[in-house]
Amino acid sequence: MHEQSAEPPQPLSDQHPSSSRHHATTAENGPFAFASCSCGWRGPARRSRDRARRDVPEHLASAAADDSSP
Ligand SMILES: [Zn+2]
């Protein structure tokens, strides 16, 4: 019995969980703060950094919803 497995083991393909594609941070522009993401998204200017930070989870949620739909 000679089994020949011609197929080489497949390497794990690139794993790209949607969350890792979005690296959001907050930045300040003068008196305003805003959230920005590595995907290019930028939140609206807020008067407090705390507010800007709250835009991040909203962006991640909508981005995740976007990714799940074809
Ligand atoms: Zn993003």
pLDDT tens figures, 14-69: 555 544 689 999 999 999 999 999 999 999 999 999 999 999 999 999 988 887 76
- As residues whose CB is below 5 A from the ion ligand 1, the structure lists 22, 37, 39, 41, 63
Radius of gyration of the chain measured on its C-alpha atoms: 20
* Structure confidence at residue 13 (pLDDT): 54
Q: Rounded to the nearest whole angstrom, what is the distance from the C-alpha of residue 6 to the centroid of ligand 1? A: 41
Q: Rounded to the nearest whole angstrom, what is the distance from the C-alpha of residue 41 to the centroid of ligand 1? A: 5
* Structure confidence at residue 64 (pLDDT): 86
Q: CA 57, 58, 59 angle in degrees (round to 5)?
A: 90
Query: Terminus-to-terminus CA distance in the chain, angstroms?
Result: 46
Round to whole Å and give the CA distance between 22 and 33: 19
pLDDT tens figures, 43-56: 999 999 999 999 99
